[in-house]
């Protein structure tokens, strides 16, 4: 079995690219290279999974004082952060109905999940490929293509971060799935962005590609994945203004909202022909910036953003109810 991993980082300052940090620790009786790359777990703290105590114990005879240098043979001491498969109940705001979903959670670790695991079969259902995506991932898209001799998966998405986040480091930790279905993350590389130094729309991207060749029933089959995740600077929205206009472009109503309290459903006035949605922001000099979007009867949702406590701008959808 052969795995090829390529990491491309555009317009970023690389930090903490440790020897062997992309490789999982090998357990007894298993081969880490059989495990499939399925996505990323993004953290703002480095995942310190290296088993330094055992490394020191096994190599103490080779130390002669001074600094300890971890060499390229330390792969087997790289640890794994395992995820737990959990069931979560979702409740519809409109109907009150509930739906149960299964998702892999890295318990006790703050991070942004974006990966596509295979959820194992259970009573009453077969196994299936799922998309685990945090709300911080905007414009996310997962593409699955299956063939007789090749399967391919593509994941793309963007994390929008406000300048108020100031200097921040994001660590892109690869996530793998073993043959037994277990999901784990390993320590990855990180890069630092200083939002104060860049204007709105500045983008930093990282791409991970992996290809694995497996043999099924005596026939070789290729499985590949490509993951592209971008960090984009967005000025923090201060307020959202919704203008309802008639066919003569006359103002029917003007409503202001805090970015995080827009309704789930917006019922319009009977004579409303189109909407103008204004997003109010300020640049680093305090100058007011207003972005405007027009929504007609062909649109079913309004897309706006609000800022979480961690400085990530999260997309919010408001359903438009036309009369």
Residues in the chain, overall count:
323
Percentage of the chain modeled with pLDDT above 70: 77
Is the same domain home to 308 and 229? no
Is the same domain home to 62 and 180? yes
pLDDT digits (tens, 9 = 90+) for 10-54: 333 333 333 333 333 333 333 333 688 999 999 999 988 866 666
Is the same domain home to 84 and 195? yes
Please, what's the largest Cα pairwise distance for the chain?
85
pLDDT digits (tens, 9 = 90+) for 289-321: 999 999 999 999 999 999 998 889 999 999 999
Mean pLDDT of the chain: 81
Among the residue ranges 76-80, 147-151, 229-233, 294-298, the one predicted with the least confidence is 76-80
Residue 72 has pLDDT above 60, yes or no: no
| Number of domains present in the structure of the chain | 2
pLDDT at residue 27 in the model: 37
- Where does a domain end: 203, 233, 263? 233
Query: Which pair of structure tokens corresponds to residue 200?
Result: 């709105």
Is the same domain home to 107 and 220? yes
- Where does a domain end: 210, 233, 256? 233
86 contact partners, CB below 8 Å, separation of at least 6: 102, 103, 104, 105
Is the same domain home to 78 and 158? yes
Is the same domain home to 65 and 11? yes
Is the same domain home to 198 and 184? yes
135 contact partners, CB below 8 Å, separation of at least 6: 314, 315
Between 75 and 47, residue with greater pLDDT: 47
Is the same domain home to 194 and 298? no
**For residue 265, how many other CB atoms are within 10 A of its CB?**
11
pLDDT at residue 53 in the model: 67
Is the same domain home to 170 and 80? yes
Is the same domain home to 174 and 50? yes
**For residue 43, how many other CB atoms are within 10 A of its CB?**
22
Is the same domain home to 169 and 283? no
C-alpha 175: how far from chain center: 12
pLDDT at residue 301 in the model: 97
For the residues 143-161, what does the mean pLDDT come to? 91
Residue 9 has pLDDT above 60, yes or no: no
Between 185 and 2, residue with greater pLDDT: 185
pLDDT digits (tens, 9 = 90+) for 94-120: 677 777 788 899 999 999 999 999 888
For the residues 1-17, what does the mean pLDDT come to? 32
pLDDT digits (tens, 9 = 90+) for 171-205: 999 999 998 899 999 998 887 776 565 678 888 88
pLDDT at residue 81 in the model: 93
Q: Which domain holds residue 55?
A: 3-233
119 contact partners, CB below 8 Å, separation of at least 6: 85, 102, 127, 128, 129, 130
Is the same domain home to 221 and 300? no
Q: What does the alpha-carbon distance between residue 238 and residue 83 come to, in Å, rounded to a whole number?
A: 36
């Amino acid at each position: 079995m052969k795995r090829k991993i390529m990491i491309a980082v555009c317009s970023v300052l690389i930090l903490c690219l440790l020897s062997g940090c992309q490789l999982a620790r090998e357990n007894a009786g298993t081969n880490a290279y059989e495990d499939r790359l399925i996505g990323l777990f993004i953290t703002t703290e480095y995942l310190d999974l290296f088993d330094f105590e055992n490394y020191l114990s096994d190599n103490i005879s080779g130390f002669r004082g001074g600094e300890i240098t971890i060499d390229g043979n330390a792969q087997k001491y790289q640890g794994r952060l395992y995820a737990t498969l959990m069931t979560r109940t979702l409740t519809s705001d409109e109907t009150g109905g509930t739906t149960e979903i299964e998702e892999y959670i890295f318990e006790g670790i703050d991070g942004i999940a974006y990966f596509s695991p295979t959820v194992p079969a259970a009573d009453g259902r077969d196994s299936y490929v799922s998309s685990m995506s945090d709300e911080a991932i905007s414009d996310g898209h997962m593409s699955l293509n299956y063939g007789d001799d090749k399967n391919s998966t593509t994941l793309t998405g963007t994390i929008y971060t406000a300048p108020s986040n100031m200097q921040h480091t994001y660590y892109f930790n690869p996530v793998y799935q073993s043959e037994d279905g277990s999901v784990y993350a390993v320590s990855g590389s990180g890069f630092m962005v200083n939002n104060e130094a860049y204007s709105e729309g500045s983008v930093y991207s990282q791409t991970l590609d992996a290809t694995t060749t497996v043999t099924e029933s005596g026939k070789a089959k290729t499985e590949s994945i490509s993951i592209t995740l971008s960090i984009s600077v967005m000025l923090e929205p201060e307020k959202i203004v919704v203008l309802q206009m008639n066919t003569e472009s006359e103002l029917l109503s003007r409503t202001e909202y805090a970015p995080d309290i827009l309704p789930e459903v917006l019922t319009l006035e009977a004579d409303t022909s189109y909407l103008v949605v204004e997003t109010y922001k300020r640049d680093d000099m305090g100058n007011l910036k207003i972005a405007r979007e027009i929504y007609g009867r062909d649109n079913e949702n309004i897309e706006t953003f609000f800022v979480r406590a961690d400085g990530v701008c999260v997309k919010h959808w408001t359903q438009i109810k036309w009369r």
